[in-house]
Amino acid sequence: LTPQDLQGRNILVTAGPTWEPLDPVRLLTNRSSGKMGYALAAAARRRGANVTLVSGPGSIRPPAGVELIPVVTANEMHQAVCQRVDATDIMIMAAAVSDYRPARHEPHKIKKGATDASLALVSNPDILRELGERKKTATCFPLLVGFAAESENHLEEGQRKLTSKNLDLIAINDIGAEDAGFAVDNNRVTLLDRNGAVEELPLLSKEEVAHRILNNILRLT
Ligand code: PMT
């Protein structure tokens, strides 16, 4: 029997990639399938939480009983998350948000040879960093959980993001390994919390990783 240890908690999870359109045909995106975020939403729901899933485009069916807020771009995800901060106890940001978007979104398909083939980009909002900043001065703020997708110096980079984004917990993915991370069913993460505790998890299903993350969250609340 699954424990109902998140009963009554309001949890917001972000999942999937964002799509940053260049024209009606082309876009900037990444390899996130949404599996990790959807597994977190399903696990939190099974443990009794009220779950809102803010998801970028993908093909996974949302878990039963979860409120799905579909978004496309980083700006849309930013808006959807910020609108819900006050109604949330725990935010888990598993989405792979595009850091940049094309400077112009052309209304018509760009013709071959019409440009010099270079692409101008502008920065997207860093949603988690902004929440971490707001948390510094707020009297009451949701617990903030982030992910880090790293291909080198995993622990150092994870620690840097935990501190600089003012997080309570971070799950660091080694995205160099083929059996874990983007688009596959398993993940291998190291969990670092605000008190300096480190838990290195073995290769596990994303469902099991989700439960381990939720166990750590409960210890911090
Ligand atoms: O979706 P899957 O195929 O299952 O793959 C899972 C995953 C590998 C995508 C997931 O486990 C993961 O690592 N997600 C975070 C990927 C990422 O964008 O990492 P980052 O190190 O670039 O970002 C750090 C944190 O800041 C993340 O929590 C991210 O959601 C957040 N962020 C990043 C950029 C941005 N503009 N806004 C953000 O909020």
pLDDT, average across residues 66-90: 98
Asked whether 93 lines ligand 1 (CB < 6 A), one says yes
| Domain spanning 10-102+120-220, CATH architecture | 3-Layer(aba) Sandwich (3.40)
Asked whether 97 lines ligand 1 (CB < 6 A), one says yes
Q: For residue 111, report the distance from its CA to the centre of ligand 1, in Å.
A: 33
**Per-residue pLDDT tens over the stretch 36-71:** 999 999 999 999 999 999 999 999 999 999 999 999
Mean pLDDT of the residues in the chain: 96
At 161 the pLDDT is: 97
pLDDT, average across residues 86-102: 98
At 97 the pLDDT is: 98
d(CA 22, CA 117): 12
At 178 the pLDDT is: 86
Q: For residue 146, report the distance from its CA to the centre of ligand 1, in Å.
A: 7
- Binding-site positions for CTP read 99, 109, 125-128, 147, 161, 165
| 173 belongs to the catalytic site | no
Nearest protein Cα to ligand 1, atom 5: 182
Per-residue b or e along 158-180, where b marks 16 or more CB atoms closer than 10 Å to that residue's CB:
bbebbeebbbbbbbbbbbeeeeb
At 216 the pLDDT is: 98
At 43 the pLDDT is: 98
Q: Does the pLDDT value for residue 114 go beyond 80? A: no
Asked whether 132 lines ligand 1 (CB < 6 A), one says no
Global ipTM: 0.98
At 131 the pLDDT is: 98
Question: For the chain, what are the domain ranges?
Answer: 10-102+120-220
Which of 3, 199, 151, 168 is CA-nearest to residue 89? 168
Q: Which atom of ligand 1 is nearest to the CA of 125?
A: 36
Which of 135, 132, 181 is CA-nearest to residue 154? 181
Counted residue by residue, the chain has a size of 221
Q: For residue 113, report the distance from its CA to the centre of ligand 1, in Å.
A: 35
pLDDT band at 18 (very low <50, low <70, confident <90, very high): very high
Asked whether 154 lines ligand 1 (CB < 6 A), one says no
